[in-house]
């Protein structure tokens, strides 16, 4: 009987105990010289990092054999270069083995076909056990030494009996990995409202926290339908320009601030962050006037609503 695996993946929980904590990997003190870091993409847009100490002549777009969990796996090369320092923390014990040949590609194609059958079998076992979980995808390791089943669930799921059932059917190492809704969107892929491929499926390596404050800083309408992605969470792209908008915002008064303009005293009614200007309601004028930030004077401690101390006063 193959060794059965429990919920030992990242984010999984022990059904009878607290979440399992893994020690955080640290990058090496010195990066190896003359060794490229290779990023390989597997099924479901899953990416991993590998070193190329064997100097295998890999190229972007080619399929290669790499070291995997107790075996070998195959994926497509998407990046070759020095990489970031933190990436090397995951590449210290893993490496590129060889370029995939025609027989390897044929076997990969067969594996992908078998995964559909494994998916149906797993769903039947889940329904028979009446487990409250939704199966998302199945990934078979290239050397057939492990099969990973990805699923989503609102709560913790005790799937130990399910693992035994699957191990008895497939006679290989079984891993069940619980993922979130953002990971599910990355696995399935698709097109965003921008008309491009999902960022998580395309170029993102890991998810970063996205908050509603980012949308407020960029003066976007707080409409959940426009701010949320297909996964139901805030779109990842809200994080891209948040730093720039934050820098621009520090050089402007707050809406409602009392300012002095070349046309007289007034109150700020609207900000244009990209143009670094403000629409001001000036006393005696029947319309709002627009002024660059450099022509305005305000007291950041007394004139702003709630006395925003982070604003830079202009005198």
pLDDT confidence of 308, banded at 50, 70, 90?
very low
pLDDT score of 136 more than 90? yes
Q: What is the pLDDT of residues 155-170, one digit of tens each?
A: 888 999 999 999 999 9
Using pLDDT thresholds of 50, 70 and 90, give the confidence band for residue 218: confident
Give the predicted TM-score (pTM) of the model.
0.73
pLDDT in tens, 268-295: 888 888 888 888 888 878 788 888 888 8
Neighbouring-strand partners of residue 67: 72
What is the structure's pLDDT at 78?
A: 92
pLDDT, mean over the chain: 83
Question: What percent of the chain has pLDDT above 70?
Answer: 86
Question: Residue 226: what pLDDT?
Answer: 84
pLDDT at 103: 94
pLDDT at 102: 93
pLDDT at 154 over 70: yes
Q: What does the alpha-carbon distance between residue 70 and residue 103 come to, in Å, rounded to a whole number?
A: 21
d(CA 65, CA 103): 12
pLDDT at 274: 83
Q: Give the whole-angstrom CA distance, residue 76 versus residue 40.
A: 5
- The pLDDT, as a whole number, for residue 24 is 59
d(CA 161, CA 124): 14
Which of 18-22, 65-69, 160-164, 177-181 is the least confident region? 18-22
Structure tokens at 288: 């709002």
List, in order, residues 6 or more apart from 42 with CB less than 8 Å away: 48, 73, 75, 139
Domains defined for the chain, CATH in brackets: 37-100 (no CATH), 106-181 (3.30.300)
> How confident is the model over 132-138, as a mean pLDDT?
93
Lowest mean per-residue pLDDT among 110-124, 128-142, 228-242: 228-242
């Amino acid at each position: 009987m193959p060794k059965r695996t429990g919920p030992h993946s990242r984010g999984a929980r022990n059904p009878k105990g607290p979440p399992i904590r893994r020690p955080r990997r640290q990058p090496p003190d010195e990066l190896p010289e003359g060794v490229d870091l290779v990023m390989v993409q597997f099924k479901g847009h899953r990416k991993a990092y590998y070193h190329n100490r064997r100097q295998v002549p890999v190229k972007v777009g080619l399929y290669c054999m790499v070291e995997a969990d107790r075996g070998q796996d195959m994926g497509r090369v998407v990046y070759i270069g020095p990489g970031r320092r933190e990436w090397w923390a995951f590449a210290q014990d893993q490496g590129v083995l060889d370029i995939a040949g025609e027989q390897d590609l044929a076997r990969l194609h067969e594996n992908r076909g078998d995964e559909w059958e494994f998916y149906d079998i797993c769903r039947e076992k889940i329904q028979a056990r009446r487990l409250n979980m939704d199966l998302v995808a199945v990934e078979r390791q290239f050397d057939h030494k492990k099969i990973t089943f990805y699923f989503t669930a609102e709560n913790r799921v005790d799937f130990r009996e399910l693992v035994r059932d699957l191990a008895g059917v497939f006679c290989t190492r079984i891993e069940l990995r619980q993922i979130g809704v953002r990971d599910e969107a990355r696995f399935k892929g698709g097109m965003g409202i921008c008309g491009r491929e999902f960022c998580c499926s395309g170029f993102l390596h890991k998810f970063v926290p996205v908050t509603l404050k980012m949308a407020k800083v960029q003066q976007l309408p707080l409409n959940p339908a426009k701010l949320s992605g297909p996964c139901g969470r805030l779109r990842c792209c809200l994080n891209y320009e948040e730093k720039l908008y934050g820098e621009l915002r520090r050089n402007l008064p707050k809406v409602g601030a009392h300012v002095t303009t070349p046309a007289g005293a007034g109150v700020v009614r609207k900000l244009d962050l990209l143009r670094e200007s403000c629409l001001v309601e000036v006393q005696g004028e029947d319309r709002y006037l627009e002024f660059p930030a450099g022509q305005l004077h305000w007291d950041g401690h007394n004139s702003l609503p709630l006395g925003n101390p982070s604003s830079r006063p202009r005198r």
